[in-house]
Amino acid sequence: MKRKFLTEYAICYMNSLTGIITADQLMSGGTLPPEEEQRLSNCHIYAIAARPSVKFKPESLKHQNEKFSGTLTYRVEGKECEFEFGNYSWELEAGAVKLDCPYPHLVVNALTPEGKVTTHMPANIMAMLRARSDTQRHDLNAFQVLYIGQAIGDGSRNAVDRLSSHSTLQRILARAPYDHPDQEIVLFMYEFGHTKIMSSMDGRAVGAIADDENDARFANAVKNPPKKKQSVGMIEAALIRYFQPEYNDKFKIKFPSTKLKTLKSCYDLDISALTVELDSSEVGVFMWSSSVSISNHHTMSFDLVAPLKRASFFNATGIKEMPGIIKATL
């Protein structure tokens, strides 16, 4: 295939913010601090994921010199596993004098002499804190992507409220005990604030258009990028196509396609490629699915003009095409 234009370009998205909330936090009806609520209000893409469900090992728990330590237990394919944590700062307040870990050992409570709970630490939150402090992959910071969705509201409800009433989340929570009995559901909320147009020039492309038309189309794409709703739709579809989550149906096979309305803005701007990057290294977690290897940084690349018999942003004369590019269909 040959280049139609001397310059080809791609629109590139990368997440700029990642919020994490466990399903039990979301469904318990609690509220977030105003600053956290504001932070998450711009998160329009979410992933429903699973990781091993954790409990405290009561006999291992210690609290000395305002430091909390112990062991978390969990199962992987039925096998009992343990994960130690230590030196977590926990100053007992409001008259609390001791810790208690009642059955089923999902939470540790700080108690007053009268037995009143002053503060508490859930096992899944401790697991998250421990995971985020570790740059190495292990069972408790590895999350299987089960579903990708978008949550763009009309301004009447916040992002957490929209998710808590989402029908797909309700369905997954109902199915999880059967499909993933030893795992808990965690939600990741993403803002994709890093957007850029990248260009590539092929000075050896024979017959490529290199006049004012070439320059004008690039300038138009830079000045008139896809609107937010269009961008969110493309990012959602790209993530679904890449991760192939088990609870998604749409876009698992038919993205990208020249017939999809989701990509109309790209074709209108003559954008020949799309890339989406999902980075989770900043929050200390690794993502995977049944079709994607585990990593803390995933890059997905899409050739949008392959069915038009035309070289894209990824192609240059005499240079071998990079592997892993997903090509559009008619």
Whether residue 218 is predicted with pLDDT greater than 70 in this model: the reply is: yes
Q: Which of 323, 320, 325 is nearest to 302 (CA)?
A: 325
What's the predicted TM-score (pTM) here? 0.91
Owner of token pair 């343990």? 82
Whether residue 89 is predicted with pLDDT greater than 60 in this model: the reply is: yes
- The DSSP result for 142-205, as a single string, is EEEEEEEEE----SSS-HHHHHHT-HHHHHHHHHHHHHSTTEEEEEEEEE--EEEEEEEE-TT-
- pLDDT tens digit sequence for 228-243: 999 999 999 999 999 9
More confident position, 69 or 44: 69
Q: Is 262 exposed, middle or buried (0-12, 13-18, 19+ CB in 10 A)?
A: buried
Residue 223: what residue type? Answer: K
Whether residue 153 is predicted with pLDDT greater than 70 in this model: the reply is: no
More confident position, 200 or 253: 200
Whether residue 159 is predicted with pLDDT greater than 80 in this model: the reply is: no
More confident position, 141 or 93: 141
> Which residues lie across from 47 on neighbouring strands?
148, 188
pLDDT of residue 320: 85
CA distances from 269 to 8, 216, 305 (A): 11, 11, 12
Q: Identify the sign of the CA torsion 183, 174, 290, 304.
A: negative
CB atoms inside a 10 Å sphere around CB 311: 23
Contact 314, 303 (CB under 8 A): yes
Contact 88, 153 (CB under 8 A): no
Q: pLDDT-based confidence at 156, cuts 50/70/90?
A: very low
CB atoms inside a 10 Å sphere around CB 12: 18
**Whole-angstrom Cα distance, residue 26 to residue 72?**
22
**Whole-angstrom Cα distance, residue 53 to residue 139?**
10
Whether residue 190 is predicted with pLDDT greater than 90 in this model: the reply is: yes
pLDDT of residue 113: 92
CA distances from 185 to 48, 153, 169, 310 (A): 7, 23, 10, 43
pLDDT of residue 148: 94
Contact 250, 38 (CB under 8 A): no
Q: Which of 216, 209, 202, 200 is nearest to 269 (CA)?
A: 216
- pLDDT tens digit sequence for 259-305: 999 999 999 999 999 999 999 998 889 999 999 999 999 999 999 99
Contact 313, 307 (CB under 8 A): no
Whether residue 155 is predicted with pLDDT greater than 90 in this model: the reply is: no
Token pair listed for 155 = 């301004």
What is the average pLDDT score of the chain?
89
pLDDT of residue 157: 55
CB atoms inside a 10 Å sphere around CB 52: 21
CB atoms inside a 10 Å sphere around CB 82: 10
The DSSP element (H or E) to which 220 belongs, if any, is: helix 212-223
**Whole-angstrom Cα distance, residue 258 to residue 302?**
12
> Could you say which DSSP state residue 84 is in?
E
Token pair listed for 16 = 């700029």
- pLDDT tens digit sequence for 31-63: 667 777 777 778 889 999 999 999 999 999 999
CB atoms inside a 10 Å sphere around CB 143: 24
